[in-house]
Structure 1
Amino acid sequence: MKAIIQKYITYNNEEYQRYNSWNHCYEAFGTLQDAKLLSLHLGFYLASWGMYRGSSKLLERDYLVHIKAVKIIKNYSHLRFSSKHKVCLADVPAILNLIRELSKYYKDIHNVTPTDTLISKIILGTLGCLPAFDRFFIAGVKQHKFKFKTLKKKSLEKLLLFQEQNQLQLNIIQKDLPEYPLMKIVDMYFWQIGFELSNKKIENGKTELL
């Protein structure tokens, strides 16, 4: 696991690399209180991570669309990774409530489709208690035949069980990477696997999306 995560860090360790936007956003939500500034961080991070593509309704909104989302997230600050709290199975009900509140806000108020990718990226970038369920992450999960591929209850329980079963190894890695919560490490691990699978398909002349 550590070698794969190191590949991710090496690949994404360039100055001004777009993946650094996660670091800036996550740090901001741990240190800042101003809702407008946090909305700006969240919006730029989501744009860097592909959530402002032409098909996204977010592209039609300015950064202030995230202010209410920031307030919702602040109500769940107890889920944020810290030395005193590591997300666990007991947190699943609260995580599901957070998912529902964010999904309802974006869909009902702004007609933004609350895909698993969007909602999980928001949570990863602010609280760090979930990975981002994007195509590379899901491809990596499928490669290892795990069952956590959605934001549904059973899937999240399987995800937290994976973390629990690999807790010792994850803790060792996290000590060397203290700026990353455990779920970010899980995210990097499966994302890198999916990314490499995609590259192999391209090399073999298969360019379809994973």
Structure 2
Amino acid sequence: MAIGDKYASLTSWLQRCGQESIHLSFRELNTIIEIPDCAYRNRPSWANLTKPSSFSSAWLNAGYIVSAVNLNEQWVEFTHGQPKSQHSNRVLSIKAINSNVFAALLRCGRSCYDAIASDPNHRYLSWEHCHEAFRQHRQTHDEKSVDYLCLHLAWYLASWGMLRNSFLMQKAYKVHTKAVEVICSPEWSDLWDVSANKMADVRYARRIIELSEKVRAAYIDVNAGMPTGTLLTKILLGTLGCVPAYDRFFRHALSLTGIAAQSFTEASIMALGKFYMSHETAFETLRQYCSERVEYPAAKIIDMCFFEYGFQNSEETADE
């Protein structure tokens, strides 16, 4: 039996299921396919690597990625997202939005920025500190600079609550070393502070997804843990500024407005870019307002508007 055929039953099962997010125990998964022995012990076995006829092809071919896995408790979570083999260059339609809702989004974005004015040590400033550090030192790859950027990234993530319920809680700041080296590689220089117009371009959206997988692999390679989509996008926002952070309040805002899919995919990135461009004057006015100290990229403006809107319209009170 070919290796690909060996896992075809999982591909078919996921396609039939069709849910946005699927949580399975290893025991439940084993009733669908035989889990490889190495997958019980090694996190890299669950990496979303696009290799033909591999274990990962079973979920990637069905349009899913592994968003979380726990080897101790023996469970895995699959999140819906287009596999690279099925990506297309189709033109996305721009979702219409109620004018009152759009006005509320802009107010939310502005209120996020204005919160800094009353508190020079506000946690929202941690994004500015981290992003500026990476912008200024991204081309210096010596050990001291990488260490400096790891500290900035670690504090930024901590201030946004990304250590809670995460493998990062048990790690020192140097766990980010390999990820920082990936992010600062010249290979990804075209993604720094990408414009909304580029976010709407499938070529750039695809590269953002590709970079996120490289960053995910960087943590897996050092046996740190499996980064979630929320953590990956929070990292990319704080460093390159190329995509908003898909945290729970941001996703909630997407569900309320219907502007884009709630999952971190090419299609969702492109839809957000097109939405920004369809309201370019209003968004650019806000971006200029927020760029008094440092330049705010389009992705950060989108992030602030939708994060705060999702927070204000959520029954939850806990912060991200």
> Does the pair score TM above 0.5?
yes
Alignment-derived partner of residue 145 in structure 1 = 258
- Per mean C-alpha deviation after superposition, the further-off stretch among 165-174 and 63-72 is 165-174
Q: TM-score, normalised by structure 1?
A: 0.86
Candidates 95, 111, 136, aligned match of 1:7: 111
Provide the aligned length of Structure 1 versus Structure 2: 202
Contact kept? 1:140, 1:191, Cα under 8 Å: yes
Contact kept? 1:92, 1:153, Cα under 8 Å: yes
Deviation for aligned residue 1:107: 2.7
Candidates 138, 150, 153, aligned match of 1:39: 150
Matched, 1:50 2:155: no
Matched, 1:18 2:123: yes
Q: How far, CA to CA, are the matches of 1:120 and 1:209 in structure 2?
A: 17
Q: In terms of Rg, which structure is larger?
A: 2
Q: Which 5+ residue runs of structure 1 have no aligned equivalent? A: none
Deviation for aligned residue 1:88: 4.1
Q: How far, CA to CA, are the matches of 2:318 and 2:235 in structure 1?
A: 26
Q: Which 5+ residue runs of structure 2 have no aligned equivalent? A: 1-104
Matched, 1:79 2:191: yes
Q: TM-score, normalised by structure 2?
A: 0.58
Q: Which has the higher strand share?
A: 2
Q: How far, CA to CA, are the matches of 1:104 and 1:30 in structure 2?
A: 23
Deviation for aligned residue 1:209: 9.9
Deviation for aligned residue 1:208: 9.4
Q: Which has the higher helix share?
A: 1
- Which whole-Å deviations, capped at 9, do the CAs of 1:96-118 have from their partners, x for residues lacking one? 11011011222342342211110
- Which whole-Å deviations, capped at 9, do the CAs of 1:171-192 have from their partners, x for residues lacking one? 2222222231111000000011
Deviation for aligned residue 1:12: 4.3
Flag the 1:143–1:12 CA change in 2: closer, same or farther, 3 A.
Answer: farther
Matched, 1:120 2:233: yes
Matched, 1:180 2:296: yes
4+ residue runs over 3 A deviation: 85-88, 207-210
Q: How far, CA to CA, are the matches of 1:168 and 1:71 in structure 2?
A: 36
Q: How far, CA to CA, are the matches of 1:155 and 1:119 in structure 2?
A: 15
